Amino acid sequence: MNLLTVEGIGIRFGGLHAVRDVGFSLKAGEIVSVIGPNGAGKTTLFNIISGVYIPHSGRILLESDDVTGFDPYLLARRGMSRTFQNLQIFQAMTVLENVMTGFHLRESGPVLSDLLALPSSRRRSREAESDARVLLARVGLERAAEREASALSYGALKRLEIARALALNPKLLLLDEPAAGCNAVETEEIDHLIVDVAKEGTAILLVEHDMKMVMRISNHIVVLDHGEKIAEGDPATVSRDPRVIEAYLGTQGQDANHAHG
């Protein structure tokens, strides 16, 4: 059964069709990438799937439930989690606390027990803390745990967001340009991390401008241009598609710059 089914999704901003009639699906453990030139509508598509925007047309199915227009926190409860292209870090919190918030669903309890610091509340916080440290180690940030998040480099913040998203133990993980701003070594680490997470059964929807990474790890690729799906298929098929070459790969030089910008 499909974990995620996107059917005929469309959204307009004023006169602009940012996304128009896009559909595809995703199974557990699969890595599906969404590619396309700048402004193609990839982030907008992510925002619709994750409940940030409500689409003007189409449906989103999670397993077999229609979740179109659900608030992100309800989608989180159903096993969806994401990172952001334009970093959404909790600035005034430490790196560790940022990841601990990812455990909110599992480790939050009655407000009164939190106010009174009852043993149950403190135990929940301790568990969140040790679980968060494991995840920080997984993305290579264990030594930055106690630092203010705002003191980290861009690449480190990208990995922090991945750790926070993984804390939800998601069935479906949306990653919007996880390797942007990362050097070659960091990019390779993220590459391996994504593959590992998928092996554990999490479905991954990926937006990434690093074509080497996309071609290497994706099971399936969806290509967007001007908000419309112009092609989809496995990496080999997509990279041979003349429309894709024209719309996207023809401008790869520019996008390669973007990926490192």
Ligand X SMILES: Nc1ncnc2c1ncn2[C@@H]1O[C@H](COP(=O)(O)OP(=O)(O)OP(=O)(O)O)[C@@H](O)[C@H]1O
- Partner whose binding site includes residue 36, from another protein, Mg ion, ligand X, none (CB under 5 to 8 Å by kind): ligand X
> Exactly one of 23, 29, 39, 72 binds another protein (CB under 8 A); which one?
72
Q: Is 40 in the site for ligand X (CB under 6 A)?
A: yes
Please name the helix (run of DSSP H) or strand (run of DSSP E) that holds residue 202, with its range, or none. Answer: none
> Exactly one of 28, 52, 145, 249 binds another protein (CB under 8 A); which one?
52
- Partner whose binding site includes residue 68, from another protein, ligand X, Mg ion, none (CB under 5 to 8 Å by kind): none
For ligand X, give the closer residue by CB, 31 or 48: 48
Region of 32 please: left (phi>0), alpha (psi -120 to 50) or beta. Answer: beta
Q: Least CB distance from residue 218 to ligand X, whole Å?
A: 17
> Exactly one of 2, 5, 25, 85 binds Mg ion (CB under 5 A); which one?
85
Instruction: Report the C-alpha gap between 187 and 192 in whole angstroms.
Output: 9
| Coil vs helix vs strand at 188 | helix
Other Cβ atoms less than 10 A from the Cβ of 210: the count is 22
The helix-helix angle for 119-138 and 154-166 (nearest 10°) equals 130
Q: Is 42 in the site for ligand X (CB under 6 A)?
A: yes
- Closest among 59, 70, 86, 69 to 2, alpha carbons compared: 59
- Partner whose binding site includes residue 89, from Mg ion, another protein, ligand X, none (CB under 5 to 8 Å by kind): another protein
- Closest among 259, 51, 91 to 172, alpha carbons compared: 51
Instruction: Report the C-alpha gap between 104 and 128 in whole angstroms.
Output: 8
- Partner whose binding site includes residue 41, from Mg ion, another protein, ligand X, none (CB under 5 to 8 Å by kind): ligand X
Q: Is 88 in the site for another protein (CB under 8 A)?
A: yes
Which residues of this protein are in contact with ligand X, per CB under 6 A? 13, 16, 18, 36, 38-44, 85
